[in-house]
Structure 1
Amino acid sequence: MKIVYLKSNNIESIFNQLQQDMGGNLTTRPQEYTLRLDNELVRGIITGVSFKNNISFMEYDLCFSNNTVIINNMPVSNPIHFMYCAEGKIAHSFGIKGQKRPLNQFQTGIFSCDPSMDTTLFFEKNVNVKLSNIMVDTQKQNSGDEGSDLLQKQLLKTFMPKKDNEIFAYTGSYNLQIAEKMQQLESINQKGLVRNLLIKGIVHVMLALEIQQHKEDKKNAKNNFGSLSKEEIEDIKELAEFIRNYPEVQYNLKYLSSKSGYSPAKLQEGFKLLFNRTVTDYIRNVRVETAENLIKTTDLNISEIVYSVGLTSRSYFSKIFKEKYNCSPKYYQDHQNSIAVTA
């Protein structure tokens, strides 16, 4: 078993330690680091970025050839770790001999501990793992940004160990929204300040989604709500992807229930849990987003676009488009040329 030790809360130092222990090619941009690995131990990529408001972000997209443990100890103040497993599975523990908490695909996990303890991640050999980790510094600092300081204060209050407890550990239910945000991160091709701002914005949304997931899980536990199995999550994910690929189909709950084999109530539960939307709202949102992309990338007129996304009323389409984008589809289309010229 390979053991990798990280003994810093500085992103640059963490990546230097990772390269020293695992090899690879390390490249840097301002506040951003990328370690590409392809050797006998591991193949894949680790990316990281730090922000000025005591938040840093790392993403592991790796497959190890042997069981591997990454032990992270912050000597001054252990951060709160907001983790999300988008692919594969890992296990987390406090210390290499501590209780292992599995984190399966599409699950969130929030972990914090006393600085004397280690945050430990277990990677199984030959398992492709895609894991995001948002780290919030627990040292109380005034950043000068009132919103950031308020966020940090709330996170410390909610997710740091209470009283005599040494740890805080939470493993959440399944969530696909965060996986979508990770995909958005990968698609960013801008450079410089624009790139940094886009990454920062998406990471903050991911953090908000993890916090919201924790809140919803607590509420569901209190109300004894049911939870979906991984198989049900996979099936509903496939159904959602089918809707996204074919927005023109005239969907209704009866049709989707028959196609998926799940009751309407189960579908509603799944879409609410995964996307925080009802089935109908999800379909409507997919159609509007598809239409917006068609306006930008095709020469179709508005009526043709309305038909191509499965709607029949242009006035209804204009209503829901304006609700989402705060302008009419015609205005948006008419201003595409001027937007391109000034961009």
Structure 2
Amino acid sequence: MREIVITSTKEEAILEQLNLCLEGNLNEEWGERVLEFANGIGKGVIRNISFDWGVSLLDCTLNFNEDIKIVFKTNSISPVEFVFISKGSFKYKEEDTEEYVDLEQYQNIIIAPKRYSKKTFVFPPYQEIKVNFIRIVRKEYLKKKNNNVTYLNELLLSLFKEEEASFPYRHKGNYSLKIADEIKALQNSYDSGIIRTLSLEGRLYLVLAMQLMEHHDFETGSTLPESLCKEDIKKIHRLSDFIVDQIASPISVQILSEESGLSPKKLQLGFQVLYSKSVNEYVRQLKLEISRDYLGNTDLSVSEIVYAVGIKSRSYFSKIFSEAYGVLPTEYRKQLKGSKR
């Protein structure tokens, strides 16, 4: 495992130290610093832009060829970090005595380490990761006119005031595609100059506001319609087995809603979060995968397979099978038999 040690909390130094290890190119335009690398270590782009009042953004797209451990060892107070992973996952821990925790896709995460503590991120190989860090230097932000931090709940207020008893703090909250959509818009800003800077700053504050709102709802026990809690995710995982067991029967959103106890809206959100598919797309994919297995490992006729996976029309089955795999079911079986000779 390759280890990269960072000894500063300032973004400029962080990018320079990363660049020494990642052997990329570091450029600056419109006040935005961009580190790009593509070599034996992997490939990726790390963007940084700093705004007034101690607020900054690190936007990372990473794909490593080996396990990469990035360790922050500093002699200064770390900023509060609002983290959102829009693709992939990685691990995090503070100090050497802690267990690693998984930081997951679409989950709202807030990290506020103890003063001068070591924090470690471990990125897996051969997995594209897209992650945003909104970093706030609290002392600087408190100088901002109308910062309104007193309206935060007691826990977050104590973090912003750097009260020692509040540290370390780690929030692993609900899963939200609404935040993911705003992050995507943030990442896909193609403007230039002042328009780009203002657009990035505006969207950054919108994302930050949404992350603060999610934290408030999580702490008060209320969940927004467009977010999912850990228990919702578990229920949707369990539905996968239910769908396989009932694959020959009609499977609708309403049936799955009744089985799981989740609303249809939550179901659709959950399947998008876990599988990047709607409920119907996921069910259809399972039917096709099971039918493909039947074609290769049984002597059932195509008509019998169509019945076994709960598809009423053989012509429709042939159409969607061909769209998915580029070959008709009968031809697929012939190809398999030919390859086994």
TM-score (norm 2): 0.64
Q: Which moved more, 1:96-105 or 1:188-197?
A: 96-105
> Are 2:244 and 1:215 equivalent residues in the alignment?
no
CA drift of 1:112 comes to 0.7
Which amino acid in 2 is paired with 1:261? Answer: L
Question: Which residue does 2:176 correspond to in 1?
Answer: 175
CA contact (8 A) 1:177 1:274 kept: no
> Any unmatched runs of 5+ in structure 2?
224-228, 240-250, 273-341
Match of 1:139, SS?
helix
**Aligned pair count?**
250
Question: Which residue does 1:33 correspond to in 2?
Answer: 33
> Any unmatched runs of 5+ in structure 1?
236-254, 276-343
Structure with max Cα Rg: 2
1:188-337 mapped onto 2 (5 Å cutoff): 188-220=189-221, 227-229=231-233, 232=236, 257-258=253-254, 261-263=256-258, 265-269=262-266
1:81-160 mapped onto 2 (5 Å cutoff): 81-139=81-139, 143=143, 145-147=144-146, 149-151=147-149, 154=152, 157-159=157-159
Q: Deviations over 1:178-219 (max 9, x none)?
A: 211121122211111111110011111111111111112222
Match of 1:116, SS?
coil
CA contact (8 A) 1:31 1:51 kept: no
In structure 2, what is the Cα distance between the partners aligned to 1:175 and 1:74?
Answer: 32
CA drift of 1:93 comes to 0.9
Deviating 4+ runs (over 6 angstroms) = 271-275
Aligned alpha-carbon RMSD (Å): 3.2
In structure 1, what is the Cα distance between the partners aligned to 2:171 and 2:202?
Answer: 24
CA contact (8 A) 1:73 1:115 kept: no
Q: Deviations over 1:37-59 (max 9, x none)?
A: 11111212111111112111112
CA drift of 1:89 comes to 0.7
Percent of matched pairs sharing the same residue: 19
| Closer, same or farther: CA 52–232 of 1 in aligned 2, 3 Å | same
In structure 1, what is the Cα distance between the partners aligned to 2:48 and 2:234?
Answer: 29
In structure 2, what is the Cα distance between the partners aligned to 1:273 and 1:207?
Answer: 23
Match of 2:52, SS?
coil
Which amino acid in 2 is paired with 1:228? Answer: D
In structure 2, what is the Cα distance between the partners aligned to 1:2 and 1:25?
Answer: 19
Which amino acid in 1 is paired with 2:45? Answer: I
CA contact (8 A) 2:236 2:271 kept: no
CA contact (8 A) 1:69 1:122 kept: yes
CA drift of 1:175 comes to 0.8
Match of 2:63, SS?
strand
Which amino acid in 1 is paired with 2:256? Answer: G
Question: Which residue does 2:295 correspond to in 1?
Answer: none
Question: Which residue does 2:17 correspond to in 1?
Answer: 17
